[in-house]
Structure 1
Amino acid sequence: MLMIGGPTATGKSALGVQLARQFNGEVINGDAFQIYRGMDIGTAKVTPAEMAGIPHHLIDIKDPGESFSAAQFQRLAESAIKDLTRRGKLPIVVGGTGFYLNALRLALPLGEHAASPVRTKWQQALAEHGPDWLWGQLGAQDPEAASRIPVGNSRRVIRALEVIETTGRKFSAQAVPVPVYDTLVLGLTTDRPALYARIDQRVDQMVESGLEAEVRRVLQNTAPSAQALKAIGYKEWLPYFAGQATLAETVGLIKKNSRHYAKRQLTYFRHQLPTHWLDMIADPEGGLAQAQALVANWLD
C-alpha cells in the first residue's frame, strides 16, 4: 500500500487523488476525524469535486456522537485493502493521524478489550493531572519510550505505562514490530514559516466558509464531551459559545493548536515511519514529479 502523510495543510488529499488516477488506485482515509459525518469544514474533508471520481473509503462512516479507535480504523482499513487488492487497485492511505497509519502498517496489537484496573488508574490520572504530567510519568520510568511517543498521544502513553506496570519490563524493550505490508510512505511538508502561514490562512478560510455554524450543528445532537468534539477546530468553540471567549480569541486558539499539532505530526512521521519527504507547496511540479517517480520505481 501507498501512504501519504505529514502535517496538516500540505496537500495530502490532492496528491492522493493525483496518484490514484495515475496508478489505478483508490483512497482510504487515514484521518481520525474525517470519519465523522457533518464535520466537513473543520477537518478539511475532501469534497466530491476534489475526489475527481476516485473512490474514497472510511469517510463519513460515523456520527459525531459515536466513538472511534485506532483498533477500529485498523480493522476497517485492512478490510478495505483486501478488497482493493482483490480488484487490482492500489490502496492509497491518506491522512495525518500518524499512529493510525503506523498501526496499520505494522499490524500493531490494539485489541479493544475492557479496560484493566491499571489502565483505568492511568486514565483517571490523565483526567486529574493532564497529558503533560502523564507523559512525564512515562519519561521517568522509560525515557526511551517517552521519546518515541508524542506528549499528546495519551492513549499510547497510557498503554506504555500499563505494559510497564503489568509486565515489570520497559515498554521500549518490547520486540520491534515488523511491517506486514510492502509500504511506500510519502510525507508532505515545507519550511516552517510557510507551513504556519498556510495553516493560519486555512483556518481563516474555514471560518469564512461557516465553521462556527458547522460546530453548532454538530452540537445539536452531540454531547460536548464526545470524542469528535476533541478535534482541533471544534473544541475551541465551546468557551466561545459559553460566552467565555471572543471570536478573535477562538480563531487565534484554533490557529495556535493547529500549528502545534502540525509540529507533533512532523515529529511522529520523522521518527516512527520510513518517510520520503516532498514539498508540494514550494515546488508543486517538482514535488509531484518526485512522488510519481518514487511510486513508479517502487511498483516496478
Structure 2
Amino acid sequence: MNSKNKYLISIVGPTAIGKTSLSIKLAQHFNTEILSADSRQFYKEMQIGTAAPTVEELLEAKHHFIHHKSIEDPYNVGTFEKEAIATLDTLFKAHDIVIMVGGSGLYVDAVSKGLDYFPEVDKSIRARLNLELVENGLETLQLQLKTLDIEAYSTIAIENPQRVIRALEICIGSGKPYSSFLNKDKNKRNFKTITIGLTAERDIIYNRINKRVDIMLTEGQLEEAQSLVDKQHLNALNTVGYKELFNYFKGEWTLGFAMEEMKKNSRRFAKRQLTWFKRNKETYWFDYLADINSIIETIEKQKSL
C-alpha cells in the first residue's frame, strides 16, 4: 500500500457539536466508509445515552466499531488500536480516503499516532501502592512521584489516583522515569492523517449539550438505563448519562437533579475533550456551522501538498 495516497480524515470536537453529521457528509462525498473512535458507542446495550448514530444515519454510510461489543466484553484502547488498524488496512485497499470520527481523544490518538508502550512490571508493585493510597492518602504517593519523576508529576492528572499509581509503578518497576517512555517507539502509520475539528462559542456548545440531554430523555434514555441497573458495576456503565440515572433509581436523587447532573457532567466532559484536541496543533478548526465545501477544500488542499 502506498502511504502517499492514503488519507485518514479524522473528525474531532466536543460532544453534541455535529461530528456524526459531518462524517456522513464527507463519507458520501468521498464515497468511503466511517470508523468510529467513540469508546462509548462500541457497546450495543448503550444506544440512546451515547448519542450513537441512528438507524437512518447508519444506512447513509457504512460504519465500523458501532455497537460491535457487549458491555460485558473486556475491551480497551490497546485492543481497539489493533482492530482499528487491521480494519483500515482492509479499507485502504478499496479506498484512498477513510473517515474517522469520535470524541474519545485517547482512542483517536491510538489510531492516528499509536500508543505509548510501557514495560511489564511486577503486579505486586501496584497492589502495594493501592494499599499505601488507602493507608496514607494520595499526597504521599504524589510526593513519591515528584521525587522519582518530576516531569510526570508536572504533567499528568496529579489528582487522579489511578494516573499517579500507574506512573509510580512504571518508575519503581523499571527503574526509569515514567516520562521517559512517552512518545517513544510508536508504530509508524502507512497512511496520513488530516484532522478536522468542529467547535463553537462555549455558550453554544453548552446549549447544544443541554438540549441533547433533554432529547435523550424523550427518546427513552430513562428506560435504557433502567434495563442496565443490574449491570451498573461494569466499567462501561461508569459514564455520563448512566451513573446519574442509577443514583435516581436508588432514590438518592430526584429525576430533575439527575438530569441537571447529566448536563453538568456532559459540559465538563466537553471541556476536557477540547483541552485534549487543542493539543494537536495540526488540526484544522471550523465553526460547527461551516459550509462543508470549505472543509472539503481544506482536505483537498492538504492532499495535494
Name 2:301's counterpart in structure 1: 297
- Contiguous gaps of at least 5 residues in structure 2: 1-7
Q: Using a 3 Å threshold, how does the CA distance of structure 1 residues 44 and 155 change in structure 2: closer, same or farther?
A: farther
Q: How many residues are aligned here?
A: 293
Deviation, 1:159, is 3.5
Cα distance in 1, alignment partners of residues 272 and 141 from structure 2? 14
Write the mapping of 1:213-252 to structure 2, written as runs, cut at 5 A: 213-219=223-229, 222-252=230-260
Deviation, 1:30, is 0.4
Name 1:198's counterpart in structure 2: 208
- Say whether the 8 Å CA contact 2:237–2:243 is kept in structure 1: yes
Q: Does 1:54 align with 2:58?
A: no
Deviation, 1:202, is 0.8
TM-score, length-normalised on structure 2?
0.84
Q: What amino acid does structure 1 have at the position aligned with 2:78?
A: A
Q: Using a 3 Å threshold, how does the CA distance of structure 1 residues 292 and 68 change in structure 2: closer, same or farther?
A: same
Cα distance in 2, alignment partners of residues 59 and 230 from structure 1? 19
Write the mapping of 1:61-76 to structure 2, written as runs, cut at 5 A: 61-76=68-83
Q: What amino acid does structure 1 have at the position aligned with 2:211?
A: Q
TM-score, length-normalised on structure 1?
0.85
Name 2:11's counterpart in structure 1: 4
Q: Does 1:253 align with 2:257?
A: no
Write the mapping of 1:147-186 to structure 2, written as runs, cut at 5 A: 148-150=155-157, 158-174=165-181, 176-177=183-184, 180=189, 181-186=191-196
What percentage of aligned pairs have identical amino acids? Answer: 33
- Contiguous gaps of at least 5 residues in structure 1: none
Deviation, 1:129, is 9.6
Structure 1 range deviating more: 121-130 or 194-203: 121-130
Larger radius of gyration: 2
Deviations 1:103-152 (A, max 9, x none): 2222224589797223344566778999x879956974545435654579
Q: Using a 3 Å threshold, how does the CA distance of structure 1 residues 76 and 185 change in structure 2: closer, same or farther?
A: same
Question: RMSD between aligned alpha carbons?
Answer: 3.1
Cα distance in 1, alignment partners of residues 192 and 86 from structure 2? 16
- Say whether the 8 Å CA contact 1:163–1:171 is kept in structure 2: yes
Name 1:284's counterpart in structure 2: 290
Cα distance in 2, alignment partners of residues 9 and 195 from structure 1? 7
Cα distance in 1, alignment partners of residues 59 and 52 from structure 2? 14
Deviations 1:212-267 (A, max 9, x none): 10111223xx5221012112101111111111110011001111110111111111
Q: What amino acid does structure 2 have at the position aligned with 1:250?
A: A
Cα distance in 2, alignment partners of residues 114 and 144 from structure 1? 20
Deviations 1:156-210 (A, max 9, x none): 5544333222233333333634652411111211111111111111111111211
Q: Using a 3 Å threshold, how does the CA distance of structure 1 residues 59 and 113 change in structure 2: closer, same or farther?
A: farther
Deviation, 1:69, is 0.5
Cα distance in 1, alignment partners of residues 207 and 94 from structure 2? 41
Cα distance in 2, alignment partners of residues 171 and 30 from structure 1? 26
Deviation, 1:38, is 2.4
- Say whether the 8 Å CA contact 1:24–1:89 is kept in structure 2: no
Cα distance in 2, alignment partners of residues 134 and 27 from structure 1? 46
Name 2:93's counterpart in structure 1: 86
Deviation, 1:8, is 0.4
Structure 1 range deviating more: 30-39 or 115-124: 115-124
Instruction: Give SS of 1:236's match.
Output: helix
